[in-house]
Structure 1
Amino acid sequence: MAAAEEYDFVIVGSGAGGGPLAANLALAGHTVLVVEAGDDHDCPYYEVPIMQAYASEDPDLAWNFYVHHYDDEGAARRDPKYVDGEGGVLYPRGSTLGGSTAVSAMVTIYPHDDDWQRLAELTGDDSWGPERMRELFTRMERWRGKDAEPLPGDTPADRDRKARHGRDGWLGTTRADPSIGGREPLFLDVIGAMEETSRARYGIGEEISLPRDPNAADTTAAYQGMTFVPVAVSDGARKGSRERLLDAQRRSDGRLTLGLNQLATRVVIEDGRAVGVEVLDQSRAYAAVPEAARGEEGEDRGTRVVRARREVILAGGAFNTPQLLKLSGIGPAQELAEHGIDVVADLPGVGENLHDRYEVSLVWHLDRDYPLFDGSPLDIPEDGRSDDLWQEWQQDRFGPYSTNGSLAAVIARSSVAGEDPDLIVFSLPIDFHGYYPGYAKDAVANHHSLSMLVLKGHTTNRAGSVRLASADPTAVPDIRFHYFEEGGDGFERDLAGVVDGIELARDIVTRVTGAGLTEVIPGGDVADREGLADFARDQAWGHHACGTAKIGADDDPMAVLDGDFRVRGVDGLRVVDASVFPDIPGFFIASAVYLVGERASDVLLAEHPVEA
């Protein structure tokens, strides 16, 4: 950390919200400190896209939260992912430069226009509207993928103009090169099954080339059918908030300081205004450090205060931002009093409204191995040489290791959906059925598995919470999602939508003809909708937590923020991360949080112009 202890802006968290915001402010001419509890850890698990699961279990990259899906212990223990010693289900988050963008699956799908329109109407601010948010996405995107074929009657130039892809932004995005799928006959068979299902179910004629581009501006919100999967990958390597920060640091003449291995413990508030952040100068100080790294915490060099001349911005994510707000006296008065914390602002919505998507996985075993994986551990080889796929990535940044493992998806509308599709189903050639300790190794223990992931978007459950377990800032908060029945009214709709997605996944797999398949999760004996609903209740999970410091109208007592991210009742303090969403946007949340960071940059630079 630089010698100076005062900056224009202090930003807590380097992920999808805080990273772009910090970079933009520094490049505009402000001095910025990013407080990050992790280190800058660069390794193949971070860089190689196919290694995404290992990244989320790397103790140098991740924190392990264990969350409650149910308060009812009997319901909780029906999930085979439940970990007795931890009392919950693993929920990995990033703790490194780049935050959770360093451990995510890199999927970068633009949200639905209605997600932004609802925020524009809620706040009365058209700059939240779909046209402006699309402009921000174009500004941010550096698209290098193979485009979808033009629609009938369009030329490639027409396609490019209508798609409105950004080519010059900072976030490198692409798709798996179609030639990679062509190297594995079984991959081609799965891709063909998705195409066949799309044409049969949704009446897509042969004159329309598949897959389509889910991020093209002219792919209508109502579209159902096969798409490719855009990912934050460029030149065969992961891209995210880390790369944006490091680039901005190089180009900002010392204005951007990365305060690594610094745990934010409290926002310093004087006379009703946030003026700085108290930080604990110690690596691996937080209790979510994975078991493999426990006992390896660095030297405790004590706490100190870093001050902000202009504003403090919290971007720690849906779990850590509400925890830090509460530790700073901002939150429900009764809860703060229970932990002996003086109340600065009584905001009952802090830590409430926690919600997520529901996801389930169906797994089949094939009657043969994927020939493409022959001789590969699907891991970093111990000798660094024996794996041909690893060698291909090292030499050319190409091949299966340059992908996140998913080549195509089907977007669909469930029987309970509103106007926008609420299901996305995609395949992985591994055994992935959720998060638990050791899941990354288990996923590749054999080379004959096919997983079909079902993600149910636009969920209705808002009953989750993040509450303090202790006033100790190194302690992990109590995180409870209250799945399905525990979430209250509307759970039947969510559950029915998940079951619709399961049935769609099974329909796709019935069209895979290149190998014999045996369903092992949930198994062919789970045949009716009631049985599938029980399976979803027991084994669903999520990994897009949001909503715990939501934007809301002035007359909403549970609103924590206004439309410009300001924390109500405290001057000079904002939140810019997944906490801000009153309703979960789109399918995969990373792109929406990146856009929140971009919009916050415009808001702050308009209010705090750089002095000439």
Structure 2
Amino acid sequence: MVIREVVDYIVVGAGTAGCLLANRLSDDPSKRVLLLEAGRGDNYPWIHIPVGYLYCIGNPRTDWLFETEPDAGLNGRSLRYPRGKTLGGSSSINGMIYMRGQARDYDDWARRTGDDEWSWARCLPDFMAHEDHYRLDNGADPATGSNSRFSDVHGHGGEWRIEKQRLRWDILDAFVEAAAQAGVPRTDDFNGGDNEGVGYFEVNQKAGWRWNTSKAFLRPVRKRNNLTVWTQAQVSRLLLEVGPQGRPRCAGVALRRDGREVSIGARCEVILSGGAIGSPHLLQLSGIGSASLLKQHDVDVVVDLPGVGENLQDHLQIRAVYKVSGARTLNVLANSLIGKAAIGIEYALKRTGPMSMSPSQLGAFTRSDDSQPHANLEYHVQPLSLDAFGKPLHAFPAFTASVCNLNPTSRGHVRIRSPKISEAPAISPRYLSSPEDRHIAAESLRQVRHIVSQPALARYRPEEWKPGAAFQSEEELVRLAGDIASTIFHPVGTAKMGSDDDRQSVVDSRLRVWGVDGLRVVDASIMPAITSGNTNAPTLMIAEKAARLIRQDSRA
């Protein structure tokens, strides 16, 4: 195929990482940057209304519509596996929660890679570089009158807006008090390096609207002459050639756009930012991956990298549901015409209320038992309940306390099914496949019961509806966890970063693909181990750091 044109950098995927990379790399006017997105623009109204995630997930307009393989840990169930397919990627359909994880996560990455660049101390400036935290809007934190505590760990004036939520619920306030009575400390900042505590999540919103990475990083620079953004441009494979040292080199990409096959060359680098599903899938289709897997599907092997698509990690949330009495919950409010009208009017007039909600409003980080050296559980607490995501709200008042193991030891994979880009890969998270994860699943449900039994919630007479108070043994609780648990949409690790003696690593500590020149991966797939919290903010940090590393290498 004839290469149609040549640019300096090709970024594949205009999601969380890709939008930031396109902004940073095109800041050098001497470099031409092409950003490719398989989905459409982010001009779909439900992307921008916070509660619109309900209409974006499972919608081919904005979602890749992936599903997992039947999972033994989930008692044979398959799960819907949402990934954003639009400008902004998953930042256009996610829960909008700003969460960095714990300092120990990044110190562990530094240990695994042998590169201190990934330590918490070296990652913190990359978090702060693009941050625009509401607490520093007036030069001081409104809660304390001082900015010193927050300005040491938070930034202001960057592109990525972080605000407090524009609602509150009595039932959630009572859960905060109950958690405190159970020994979970209150916190007003989950993002200083130790997120243990309970409090309301901060969100990526601006004045009641979702703030996705397309609005934050692309819109301000779309008029740059050296930046081109193509939507509905599906990359089918990487163009690999023999470089000057006899090593494979990524010379560009082949893609389909406007019904035509097009090849674009890259003078400097091709950067994959397709996420934990898309990036390993494209690597495998291009001949980079496990030789045995590629041969099985008649793909010519260019580089035998057995770690491509392996090491899949995700947070599995176990959704405990409690019926309540005398509490205002969204179940009751949204199940009446008057309630729905009131919700719509409030949002139209004030940009507040349930339409401004993230999927989860209240968070808690704590330990599954006293032997744990750090918080290893995360709660997402919601003033609502339903059978499964996308299903109708229950007719009775209730709240949901979803709890996940922050550091699962189960590992899954993403593998091609055929040599065709049109066929989605097989996604097998292998949830609850380790004894440790099964034990923590049972312990986490016991801990939910302990918190709910505290005096602060007694006036609402909580009654365990799922999994059901009759079930007490570890075997019963693990089985029921498999029945009610679902993904919390945090897949990572499938092109993991590691040292040169780690045969399962896919990229080095500068995110360059082993054995291939001119090719990097910059997205959540490079995480060697999942962070102790939501994964959107860490992915932005990875992209911020990567942009700096790429610029450094281009000058070398």
Match of 2:431 in 1: 483
**Does the 8 Å CA contact 1:269/1:276 hold for their aligned counterparts?**
yes
Q: Tell me, what secondary structure is at the counterpart of 2:268?
A: strand
Match of 1:545 in 2: 491
Match of 2:213 in 1: 241
1:399 equivalent to 2:353? Answer: yes
**Does the 8 Å CA contact 1:11/1:35 hold for their aligned counterparts?**
yes
CA RMSD of aligned residues (A): 2.8
Write the mapping of 1:554-569 to structure 2, written as runs, cut at 5 A: 554-569=500-515
**Does the 8 Å CA contact 1:13/1:316 hold for their aligned counterparts?**
yes
1:42 equivalent to 2:43? Answer: yes
1:389 equivalent to 2:348? Answer: no
Match of 1:519 in 2: 464
1:440 equivalent to 2:390? Answer: yes
TM superposition shift of 1:569: 0.8
Structure 1 unpaired stretches of 5+: 83-87, 182-186, 205-209, 283-300, 486-490
**C-alpha distance in 2, partners of 1:53/1:509?**
28
**C-alpha distance in 1, partners of 2:86/2:212?**
12
Spell out, residue by residue over 1:424-471, the C-alpha distance to the aligned partner (whole angstroms, 9 max, x if none).
11311222455xxxx3242x3536231111021011122x11111111
Read off the aligned partner of 2:253 and give its amino acid letter: V
- Note closer, same or farther for the CA distance 1:473–1:161 as it changes in structure 2 (3 Å cut): closer
TM superposition shift of 1:514: 4.1
**Does the 8 Å CA contact 2:4/2:263 hold for their aligned counterparts?**
no
TM superposition shift of 1:42: 2.6
**C-alpha distance in 2, partners of 1:146/1:441?**
39
The two structures have a TM-score, normalised by structure 1, of: 0.82
**Does the 8 Å CA contact 1:5/1:306 hold for their aligned counterparts?**
yes
Q: Tell me, what secondary structure is at the counterpart of 2:161?
A: strand
TM superposition shift of 1:361: 0.3
Residue-pair matches, total: 542
**Does the 8 Å CA contact 2:95/2:360 hold for their aligned counterparts?**
no
**C-alpha distance in 2, partners of 1:194/1:136?**
31
**Does the 8 Å CA contact 2:467/2:484 hold for their aligned counterparts?**
no
Write the mapping of 1:596-611 to structure 2, written as runs, cut at 5 A: 596-609=542-555
TM superposition shift of 1:537: 3.3
Match of 1:579 in 2: 525
Spell out, residue by residue over 1:179-223, the C-alpha distance to the aligned partner (whole angstroms, 9 max, x if none).
x32xxxxx2233223223224424x5xxxxx442112x3xx62x6
**C-alpha distance in 1, partners of 2:315/2:420?**
30
Write the mapping of 1:312-327 to structure 2, written as runs, cut at 5 A: 312-327=270-285
Structure 2 unpaired stretches of 5+: 243-247
TM superposition shift of 1:564: 0.5
Read off the aligned partner of 1:110 and give its amino acid letter: R
- Note closer, same or farther for the CA distance 1:146–1:497 as it changes in structure 2 (3 Å cut): farther
Spell out, residue by residue over 1:535-591, the C-alpha distance to the aligned partner (whole angstroms, 9 max, x if none).
123443322111111111111111111000101111000001111011111211111
**Does the 8 Å CA contact 2:329/2:399 hold for their aligned counterparts?**
no
**Does the 8 Å CA contact 1:249/1:255 hold for their aligned counterparts?**
no
Read off the aligned partner of 1:262 and give its amino acid letter: A
The two structures have a TM-score, normalised by structure 2, of: 0.90
Spell out, residue by residue over 1:229-268, the C-alpha distance to the aligned partner (whole angstroms, 9 max, x if none).
1211111111122113432433x52222111111110000
**Does the 8 Å CA contact 2:417/2:423 hold for their aligned counterparts?**
yes
- Note closer, same or farther for the CA distance 1:476–1:274 as it changes in structure 2 (3 Å cut): same
Q: Tell me, what secondary structure is at the counterpart of 2:111?
A: helix
**C-alpha distance in 2, partners of 1:418/1:369?**
34
Match of 1:259 in 2: 230
**C-alpha distance in 2, partners of 1:309/1:136?**
27
**C-alpha distance in 2, partners of 1:390/1:51?**
12
Match of 1:471 in 2: 419
TM superposition shift of 1:130: 0.9
Q: Tell me, what secondary structure is at the counterpart of 2:90?
A: helix
Match of 1:452 in 2: 401
Among 173, 182, 189, the residue aligned to 2:162:
173
Between the aligned residues of both structures, percent identity stands at 29
**Does the 8 Å CA contact 2:329/2:397 hold for their aligned counterparts?**
no
- Residue range with higher mean Cα deviation, 50-59 or 235-244: 50-59
Read off the aligned partner of 2:400 and give its amino acid letter: S
**C-alpha distance in 1, partners of 2:371/2:55?**
34
- Note closer, same or farther for the CA distance 1:501–1:378 as it changes in structure 2 (3 Å cut): farther
**C-alpha distance in 1, partners of 2:340/2:92?**
27
Match of 1:294 in 2: none
**Does the 8 Å CA contact 1:455/1:587 hold for their aligned counterparts?**
no
Match of 1:107 in 2: 97
Read off the aligned partner of 2:175 and give its amino acid letter: A
Match of 2:378 in 1: 424
Q: Tell me, what secondary structure is at the counterpart of 2:404?
A: strand
Read off the aligned partner of 1:25 and give its amino acid letter: L
TM superposition shift of 1:4: 7.7
1:333 equivalent to 2:291? Answer: yes
Write the mapping of 1:311-390 to structure 2, written as runs, cut at 5 A: 311-367=269-325, 370=328, 376=334, 387-390=341-344
**C-alpha distance in 2, partners of 1:415/1:277?**
50
Among 366, 388, 395, the residue aligned to 1:412:
366
**Does the 8 Å CA contact 1:45/1:54 hold for their aligned counterparts?**
yes
Match of 1:65 in 2: 66
Match of 2:9 in 1: 9
Spell out, residue by residue over 1:77-125, the C-alpha distance to the aligned partner (whole angstroms, 9 max, x if none).
x46xx3xxxxx32111111111111111111111211111122223332
Q: Tell me, what secondary structure is at the counterpart of 1:116?
A: helix
Q: Tell me, what secondary structure is at the counterpart of 1:335?
A: helix
**Does the 8 Å CA contact 2:330/2:384 hold for their aligned counterparts?**
no
Read off the aligned partner of 1:355 and give its amino acid letter: Q
Match of 2:202 in 1: 230
